[in-house]
Amino acid sequence: MHVKLTKGRRLASVCIVLFFFFFFAVDLVKIQIIDGEEYDAASSAISERTATISAARGEIVDCNGSPLIYNTQGYTVIFDAAYFPSKDEQETRNEIILSLIKHFESKDLEWLDILPLVFDENGVIVYKEDSDSLIKEMKSADMLKLNEYATAQNCFDALIDRYELETYGAAEQRKIASVCYGMERIYFKIGTPYVFATQVPNETVSLIKENSGFYKGVDVRVDPVRNYTDGTLAPHILGRVGAIDAEEYAEKKSLGYKITDQIGKSGIESAMEEYLKGIDGEETVYIDSEGGRTSVVTTPPVQGNNVVMTISAPLQKVTQDALEKALLDYAGKKGNIVENAGAAIVIDCRTGAILSSATYPTYDISTYAENVAALNTAAGSPLWNRALLSTYATGSTMKPSVAVAALESGAITEETTVYCSGSYEYLGQHFKCEQSHDTRHVNVVNAIDESCNTFFYEVGKNIGIEKMNEYRILFGLGSKTGCELGEASGVLDSPEYRSSLGQTWLPGYTVQSAIGQAGNLFSPIQLANYCATIANGGTRYKTHFVKSIKSHDYSQTIYETKPEIVAETGVSATTLDIVKRGMLMVGTTGYCADYFRGLPVKVACKTGTSQEIRKIEGESVKINNGFLIAFAPYENPEIAIAVVGEGMTSGAFVAPVVRDICDYYFGQSGTFEDLQPENTFIP
């Protein structure tokens, strides 16, 4: 018994010893081989610090996986507070900063300049336009501690004194002050470097490294760079990124944002910020006794998630080009007293997905930063998203909705006719119908096809504004469509709306509303969704630009947009069939027939024209705007389209836009999918 116990103890002792040898051996392998570089650097270092590795934002791709916005890598010039001259050495700071600025400007390179002060044409320092938040921040207690009413010169004088710039000329004072102010704004310190310039060429990188003795604390790192496959493609939809401002930082810092971060400023870049932003990594930088640096990545950065759009890049290009051509062709042939401007939008009738959205005039978002001042003052407001934000009196495009209301309420049938003499009198007021009709006795199908005002005056009078608006509400007119981006609500004119303005609803407004006039104001995206609801049988979907969100490597689906029904209108198939037949006649035998011949599908549509009083060179001028809503194929609708041309005398003049869209979308095979490139992933 004693012998057996002794042997057991010996065996246990041996196992314990072997376990400790194994544990130390594993630890030794980890120290010398796996983490050898880090420990070797640490052992010879006289100092070490932690630095942030910026994470790339997620990509934005079209519905087929083709990149719209992607990342590359570029050199970034930064100031490292561990080695850059301190505030007590302001003169040395100024010398380094001015030297860098002179080099960059001699090579026509940009450096980051956020100071909201500029010189006007007379050499007077003034506030930079459209910089209210930056100006407020500059005057704040955290920065210059100036009163709200402080002038630009007051701010400039404070900066000169603050950064010891008295010996420099005014231009140099402003440039150096911009950099010093930028450093102070981000609380420049160890661990929070200041970014002086991004996307710096190799030549400048070499200059800085070769003159490191002078450029103390000026360093170069590799950062992700945001790039656009085509900066002119859907700029109003994709949006841009920019430096986070004070208000955004105050709101986002609890989410891990730093004052040095970039953030989505507009479009999808802003709307999908929570998905696109990556997770920054960390590296430890060791400095040895000879000044040599060794970096070890301790936490790798994680790229943001990728956004898959519903937009098709080729269809977007077709839509943009067709819109521009139609507007310029009209101006060349007819003349146009307003700036050539308009919008076009294409929606999938079956899901509410937005397949393309174009605004003209437009711009190149890849050069936005250098052209922003000119863009803000350019004729036609190219930065304005007309497809989502502009609202118009949409004319006869409203007649299908009035026809639906009248048919559904039983006020008319398909056989009901109204005699049109070319004029209409109501309560002492005279209204016109300038259309010529095959027969003076017009039914609802003919009235839609020939756009007979008299028919709809009479119908509108009989059913009243409440009934008309009941169905307009079902079709989503006068309310947002629900997409991810900012959009206008529009105005659904009514006695209640007029009362809210302190006005009285007059009887004549009812008959005017029936032909799309009065005070109704709707956006192109609302028109497209209204048309889609008619086309698909009465189901109104929430519109959307985002198809799905994918993980950084596209291996997982983080989020997927499912078609969301906002309203079932309950309109009968019989009513919709009558209305759609009228729209088909417009596209096959009516005003737009010549444009749509030769297409592989039948297009149903409705034109519209409305008048608008607009200020032009200080004078009030009456202009027309042209509209067209359309869907195709007629038998089994897939897409709905809305187009507006400002200053046009008829919606028929934008029919070429619909033609080009349908020609591309359906192609000779009649199916859109056959035209698409192979997916780079399965979205």
As a whole number of angstroms, the distance between CA 573 and CA 566 comes to 19
Give yes or no for residue 479 having a pLDDT over 80.
Answer: yes
Q: What pLDDT is recorded for position 290?
A: 60
pLDDT band at 52; cut points 50, 70, 90: confident
pLDDT band at 621; cut points 50, 70, 90: confident
More confident of the two residues 38 and 657: 657
Mean pLDDT in residue range 271-289: 86
Distances (CA, A) of 538 to 440, 467, 528, 633: 31, 17, 14, 16
pLDDT band at 676; cut points 50, 70, 90: very low
pLDDT band at 24; cut points 50, 70, 90: low
Q: What pLDDT is recorded for position 227?
A: 94
Q: What pLDDT is recorded for position 41?
A: 45
Q: Where are the alpha helices (DSSP H) in 368-503?
A: 368-377, 386-389, 399-409, 444-450, 453-474, 495-500
As a whole number of angstroms, the distance between CA 625 and CA 527 comes to 14
Cβ neighbourhood burial of 40 (10 Å; 0-12, 13-18, 19+):
middle
Q: What pLDDT is recorded for position 327?
A: 95
Q: What pLDDT is recorded for position 435?
A: 79
Q: Where are the alpha helices (DSSP H) in 79-220?
A: 90-106, 132-139, 152-162, 170-185, 202-210
pLDDT band at 661; cut points 50, 70, 90: very high
Least confident of 172-186, 381-395, 429-443, 514-528: 429-443
Under a CB-based contact definition with an 8 Å cutoff, are residues 338 and 623 in contact? yes
Give yes or no for residue 22 having a pLDDT over 60.
Answer: no
Most confident of 8-22, 61-75, 283-297, 333-347: 61-75
Helices (H) and strands (E) in the chain, counts: 23, 25
What the block records as the tokens of 603 is 């297009």
Q: What pLDDT is recorded for position 217?
A: 92
Q: What pLDDT is recorded for position 292?
A: 63
Under a CB-based contact definition with an 8 Å cutoff, are residues 585 and 574 in contact? no
As a whole number of angstroms, the distance between CA 623 and CA 648 comes to 8
Under a CB-based contact definition with an 8 Å cutoff, are residues 304 and 85 in contact? no
Q: Residue 512 carries which DSSP code?
A: H
Phi and psi torsions of 542, nearest 5°? -70, 130
Label each residue of 214-272 as H, E or C.
Answer: CCCCEEEEEEEEEEECCCCCCHHHHCCEEECCHHHHHHHHHHCCCCCCEEECCHHHHHC
Mean pLDDT in residue range 410-422: 93
More confident of the two residues 286 and 420: 420
Most confident of 105-119, 345-359, 437-451: 345-359
Give yes or no for residue 615 having a pLDDT over 90.
Answer: no
Decide the pairing of beta strands 354-360 and 342-348.
antiparallel
CA 647 to the chain's CA centroid: 26
The chain-wide mean pLDDT, for the chain, equals: 89
Under a CB-based contact definition with an 8 Å cutoff, are residues 260 and 193 in contact? yes
Mean pLDDT in residue range 9-20: 61
Give yes or no for residue 282 having a pLDDT over 90.
Answer: no
As a whole number of angstroms, the distance between CA 455 and CA 431 comes to 12
Phi and psi torsions of 215, nearest 5°? -85, 60
pLDDT digits (tens, 9 = 90+) for 328-382: 999 888 777 678 899 999 999 999 999 999 999 999 999 998 898 899 989 899 9
Mean pLDDT in residue range 191-209: 93
Q: Which of 579, 67, 568, 645 is nearest to 306 (CA)?
A: 67
Q: What pLDDT is recorded for position 9?
A: 64
More confident of the two residues 216 and 3: 216
Q: What is the pTM of this model?
A: 0.86
Under a CB-based contact definition with an 8 Å cutoff, are residues 528 and 483 in contact? no
pLDDT band at 468; cut points 50, 70, 90: very high
pLDDT digits (tens, 9 = 90+) for 235-247: 999 999 998 888 8
As a whole number of angstroms, the distance between CA 514 and CA 396 comes to 9
Q: What pLDDT is recorded for position 25?
A: 53
Provide the residue type at 311 as one letter: I
Cβ neighbourhood burial of 345 (10 Å; 0-12, 13-18, 19+):
buried
CA 396 to the chain's CA centroid: 30
Residues in CB range of 247: below 8 A, 6 or more apart: 133
Decide the pairing of beta strands 429-432 and 441-442.
unpaired
Least confident of 165-179, 262-276, 439-453, 561-575: 439-453
Cβ neighbourhood burial of 567 (10 Å; 0-12, 13-18, 19+):
middle
Give yes or no for residue 48 having a pLDDT over 80.
Answer: no
Give yes or no for residue 29 having a pLDDT over 70.
Answer: no
Give yes or no for residue 668 having a pLDDT over 50.
Answer: no
- Partner residues linked to 13 by β-bridges: none
Q: How many CA atoms lie within 13 A of 517 on its CB side?
A: 18
Backbone conformation region of residue 32, classed left if phi is above 0, alpha if psi is from -120 to 50, else beta = alpha
Q: What pLDDT is recorded for position 31?
A: 43
More confident of the two residues 54 and 411: 411
